Amino acid sequence: MRRLLITGGAGFIGANFVRYWADKYPDDRFVVLDALTYAGNMANLVGMSDRSGYRFVHGDISDQDLVASLLKEEKLDTIVHFAAESHVDRSIHEPDAFIRTNVNGTHSLLRVAREVWLERDDAPDTHLFHHVSTDEVYGSLGPDDPAFTEETPYAPNSPYAASKAASDHLVRSYHHTFGLRVTTSNCSNNYGPYQFPEKLIPLMIVNALTGKPLPVYGDGSNIRDWLYVEDHCRGIELVINSGRVGETYNIGGNDERANIDIVKEICARIDVLFSQRPGLAAAFPEAPAAAGRPTASLITFVKDRLGHDWRYAIDATKSRSELHYEPLESFDSGLGRTIDWMLSNETWWRSVMDGSYRDWLEKNYS
């Protein structure tokens, strides 16, 4: 039985992980620590408070007294560290928060973990600090470059990627220097339920349903490797349960797609759904599809993202051979599930997009 601290558990992947873990390991104790930034929402954890073993704590990963008291009082033996500023565009406009949380916040957690787990007599018999990271630390690929392996040299290009790279190095150093038991996973682009509608897929779905332009950066040729979020959660589970301490593992979807193809695919699917389900036109009257017009008419090519990485691709051979990791959801089925989820959860996306997010969008993109 594990006793976990899940940081950033009210965000997109963290909340999916909390649900995944609670279903699979109902006897575990899991404490969620989240600062509830614009990206963290209690709405992502609805229903969780009824589960035994679950506790939510509103707080910052940089609050060392709080983290130390949680590790000690709850006798936690595993940290799964999701908490981060995660949006590349925001890191271009306002990088400070990325350094604060992703670099200093991660270091703060490592410090406390070391103090409580390595330097105290009443420390648990064993412990694990699992760090959730990204493929963006490896930089950008050309069309014929081989996919990123765990040996690919780091070459982060955005302030976000640089802050994650720094955090990966700090995690590694706490293992090498102090003997903290750590693992790291570097994952490709996730999508699925509870993803904040500032990221490509949920943004395009929301804008298509509300009749707003679908902003495609540059010429839309940039390529990402897409992974349904549940497969990422399973990958993390495999690393936690069977990964070698001190190692990093790449997790990917083995499904590379150009942005423009994804946007067109979302448009086509929404057109079909509106033609098959008459209730959708009444529910989303601003959608072009409600009036029988093609959703693709909303596609708008806009100024490119600064320093926009062209391609990411993951070579997950190590995870496959050591951990038997394999994504189960195809992009085809995963995108279908995601669109269905967004159609059924209008209240969720309208509520999380209120307030500070709107202010930020207006300030930077009006």
Alpha carbons 249 and 251: distance in angstroms, whole number = 6
Closer of 2 and 169 to ligand DAU (Cβ): 169
Residue closer to ligand NAD by CB (options 137, 216) is 137
Candidates 30, 56, 138, 312; binder of ligand DAU (CB under 6 A) is 312
Q: Residue 177: what residue type?
A: T
Cα 282 vs. chain centroid, distance in angstroms?
Answer: 33
| Residue located via tokens 């996306």 | 349
Is residue 215 close enough to count as binding ligand DAU by CB under 6 A? yes
CA distance 177 to 183: 15
**Taking CB under 6 A as the rule, does residue 83 contact ligand NAD?**
yes
116 binds ligand NAD (CB under 6 A): no
Q: Which amino acid is located at 302 in the chain? A: V
Residue 217 binds which of ligand NAD, ligand DAU, none (CB < 5-8 A, kind-dependent)? ligand DAU
- Judge whether 249 counts as a catalytic residue: no
CB-based contacts of 145, cutoff 8 Å, min separation 6: 311, 313
Beta pairing partners, 78? 4, 128
The rounded distance, in Å, linking the Cα atoms of 26 and 362 is: 43
From 38, 54, 160, 174, the catalytic residue = 160
Token pair listed for 349? 């996306």
Angle between the N-to-C axes of helices 229-242 and 12-24, in degrees from 0 to 180, rounded to the nearest 10:
60
Of the residues 60, 77, 85, 136, which is catalytic? 136
Selected binder of ligand NAD within 78, 91, 101, 157 (CB under 6 A): 101
Which residues from 18-37 bind ligand NAD, rule CB under 6 A?
A: 34-37
Q: 24 is written with which tokens?
A: 């699979």
Burial 335-355 (b: 16+ CB within 10 A, else e): beebbebbbeeeebbeebbee
User: Should residue 200 be labelled a site residue for ligand DAU when binding is judged by CB under 6 A?
Assistant: yes
Three-class secondary structure of residue 340 per DSSP: helix
What distance lies between CA 189 and its chain's CA centroid? 8
Active site annotation includes 136: yes
Q: Which of the 8 DSSP states describes residue 158?
A: S
- Residue with Cβ nearer ligand NAD (237 or 271): 237
User: Which of ligand NAD, ligand DAU, none lies near 14, with the C-beta cut-off 5 to 8 A by kind?
Assistant: ligand NAD
Contact pick of 70, 128, 132, 203 for ligand NAD (by CB under 6 A): 132
Q: Identify which of residues 101 and 157 has a Cβ nearer to ligand NAD in the complex.
A: 101
154 binds ligand DAU (CB under 6 A): no
Complex with ligand DAU: residue 135 or 237, whichever CB lies closer: 135
**Residue with the two structure tokens 């708008």:** 300
Subset of 173-202 contacting ligand NAD (CB under 6 A): 187, 189-190, 196
Q: Of 16, 10, 29, 81, which Cα lies nearest the Cα of 234?
A: 16
Site residues (vs ligand DAU, CB under 6 A) = 86-88, 134-136, 188-189, 199-200, 203, 215-217, 222, 224, 259, 305, 312
Catalytic residues: 135-136, 160
Q: Give the residues lining the site for ligand NAD (CB under 6 A).
A: 7-8, 10-14, 34-37, 39-40, 60-62, 82-84, 86, 101, 105, 132, 134, 164, 187, 189-190, 196
